[in-house]
Amino acid sequence: MAPKVLVSDKLSETAVQIFRDRGIDVDFQPDLGKDKDKLAEVIGQYDGLAIRSATKVTEKILANADNLKVIARAGIGTDNIDKDAASKKGVIVMNTPFGNMITTAEHAIAMMFAVARQIPEASASTHAGKWEKSKFMGTELTNKTLGVIGAGNIGGIVCDRARGLKMKVIAYDPFLSEEKADSMGVEKVELDDLLARADFITLHVPFTEATKNILSRENLEKTKKGVRIINCARGGLVDEEALSELLKSGHVAGAAFDVFAVEPATENALFNLPNVVCTPHLGAATTEAQENVALQVAEQMSDYLLTGAVTNALNMPSVTAEEAKVMGPWIKLADHLGAFIGQLTDEPIKAINILYDGVASNMNLEALNCAAVSGIMKSVNPDVNMVSAPVIAKDRGIQISTTSQDKSGAFDGYIKLTVVTDKRERSIGGTVFSDGKPRFIQIKGINIDAEIGAHMVYTTNEDIPGIIGTLGATMGENGVNIANFTLGRNAPGGDAIALLYVDKLVDPAVLEKLNATGMFQQVKMLEFDVA
């Protein structure tokens, strides 16, 4: 029997025809996604679900999806899919991360032109029969400094287009290497430097805890007087209330926003202010981009349902069914090793070196590499997956090398991950025990036997008396429950590390109290997906 796919949002007829041509039984109901109850009622009939943003795939819907094998989103954002529930149900979640990059970058450039020349206001005035030529004095882009926050896929295209406009481009991106910046023709700077120098600032980062409110009131006040700010990335990156006040005071000369903290945005602090251009999240809204992502979804879903090939999956590695039985725990280990280093590294990565020992060296190393790199990159971009992570790493000039060797120690096999930056090398090793659980076995060259928990506090210190007492007392005084902890050191009085297993995220203020004791070289909250 042919696989059956439901298309519950608007998808091009060309994409729907791809399913038919590949032998897929496709049910095209572009308005069904708006009816949650009806979708929940019928979803059990289908092997695949193709959506855009209108369909909300909730836990309730997934509870009825007994035959569903794959959900594919035509676009990059998957906030409308309960990925945890999908994973527990065994449903693959795919997206199309590269189909709308050019379109979004072009919209940012268009918005920059619009705010530089006050085009929307001038157009409205002229339509009203006014001729206010002297009122709309603009500014040239040529020779102005553009500050790009986030120089990845979309930000990189914006940099290229801006250089074509003869702008000076400076970029803030912790994962951008000096070599990659040079090849792009941009100057890599720190955020404060960008804020002080940029005539225009454009944001191209995902919304994460690290980027939330990156243009806070404090940072907005550091900007150059007369700056113009463009956000076509994600809502929540800018303090909209603070920006509104700075626009009214004249410190900020203009703003152009395609995305907002709350969407749909029916009211906002930026609305109806002079020289503020607003559009309703149109970054990916071109015929070409919508067609590109629709065609990609149809091809990816068909490939998976007919051949088992997995592309752009967010919750599953790109491996065959046979490999998955053996490699599953090792893929999880590689991801955890990457996540550990990724959460500790806040400077540009030059190289990622991965050593596979023993049984690990005989596995699908490409998939393991992808899992390790994905773990690293997800610390700054949660939309990264095992397919896109190596592409993004390559774009950023990161060199990835792999070494394999026969069994060389006490373990049947292990993986050692080393990340190289201009300042340091950081390494971690891990293995999978017979119980199928990944473990850390070496950190900073210090041997350790540590299970991996969802929430962990990592500390480094000199091996001196009082460390354990300070950790326990500080956590206890602040209501933090320590479920367990693991210690390691390289020699008496030498370097030491600790991993505390806690029940939930620890307030940064508590970690700061540990730092304030002067006993620790590093204190870091870590999170791992152990589901």
Active site residue 73: no
CA distance 362 to 368: 11
What CATH code is carried by the domain that includes residue 450?
A: 3.30.1330.90
Does residue 372 sit in the same domain as residue 410?
Answer: yes
Domain ranges, residue 430: 339-526
Does residue 59 sit in the same domain as residue 87?
Answer: yes
Does residue 10 sit in the same domain as residue 93?
Answer: yes
**How close are the terminal C-alpha atoms of the chain, in Å?**
33
Does residue 105 sit in the same domain as residue 183?
Answer: yes
Q: What share of the chain is helix, strand, coil (3-state, %, to 5)?
A: 35, 25, 40
Whole-model pTM? 0.72
Active site residue 263: yes
47, burial (CB in 10 Å: exposed 0-12, middle 13-18, buried 19+):
buried
Residue 518 covered by a domain: yes
Does residue 273 sit in the same domain as residue 186?
Answer: yes
Does residue 222 sit in the same domain as residue 297?
Answer: no
pLDDT band, residue 307 (cuts 50/70/90) = confident
Burial letters 474-511, b for 16+ CB under 10 A, else e: bbeeeebeeeebbbbbeeeeebbbbbbbbeeebeeebb
Q: Which two tokens stand for residue 366?
A: 């490409």
Residue with tokens 């879903």: 301
% the chain with pLDDT above 70: 98
Residue 327 covered by a domain: no
Residue 309 covered by a domain: yes
Residue 443 covered by a domain: yes
429, burial (CB in 10 Å: exposed 0-12, middle 13-18, buried 19+):
buried
Average of per-residue pLDDT across 375-385? 81
Does residue 42 sit in the same domain as residue 114?
Answer: no
Q: Would you call 403 helix, strand, or coil by DSSP?
A: strand
Which amino acid would we find at residue 123?
Answer: S
Domain C-terminal end among 278, 299, 324: 278
State pLDDT tens for residues 452-476. 999 999 999 999 999 999 999 999 9
How much is the pLDDT for 87? 82
Does residue 122 sit in the same domain as residue 267?
Answer: yes
Average of per-residue pLDDT across 267-285? 94
Residue 322 covered by a domain: no
Average of per-residue pLDDT across 207-228? 95
State residue 462 phi and psi, 5-degree precision.
-80, 140
Does residue 516 sit in the same domain as residue 372?
Answer: yes
State pLDDT tens for residues 87-130. 878 888 999 888 888 999 999 999 999 999 999 999 999 999 99
How much is the pLDDT for 118? 95
Residue 346 covered by a domain: yes
How much is the pLDDT for 321? 54
Residue 7 is inside which H or E element, if any? Answer: strand 4-7
What CATH code is carried by the domain that includes residue 17?
A: 3.40.50.720
Does residue 348 sit in the same domain as residue 448?
Answer: yes
Average pLDDT, the chain: 92
DSSP string of 28-50, one letter each residue: E-TTGGG-HHHHHHHGGG-SEEE
Average of per-residue pLDDT across 15-29? 95
From 73, 228, 281, 336, the catalytic residue? 281
Residue with tokens 């890599």: 188
Active site residue 117: no
Does residue 254 sit in the same domain as residue 354?
Answer: no
Does residue 109 sit in the same domain as residue 257?
Answer: yes
Residue 262 covered by a domain: yes
Contacts of 234 (CB under 8 A, 6+ apart): 203, 205, 206, 207, 211, 259
How much is the pLDDT for 387? 59
Residue 149, pLDDT above cutoff 80: yes
% the chain with pLDDT above 90: 76
State pLDDT tens for residues 393-414. 888 899 999 999 998 888 999 9
Which amino acid would we find at residue 253?
Answer: A
- Domains of the chain: total: 3
From 161, 234, 439, 455, the catalytic residue? 234
CA distance 317 to 312: 9
| Residue 167 CB neighbours (<10 A) | 20
State pLDDT tens for residues 348-373. 899 999 999 999 999 988 889 989 99
How much is the pLDDT for 523? 95
Residue 390 covered by a domain: yes
| Residue 140 CB neighbours (<10 A) | 11
CA distance 425 to 307: 41
pLDDT band, residue 415 (cuts 50/70/90) = very high
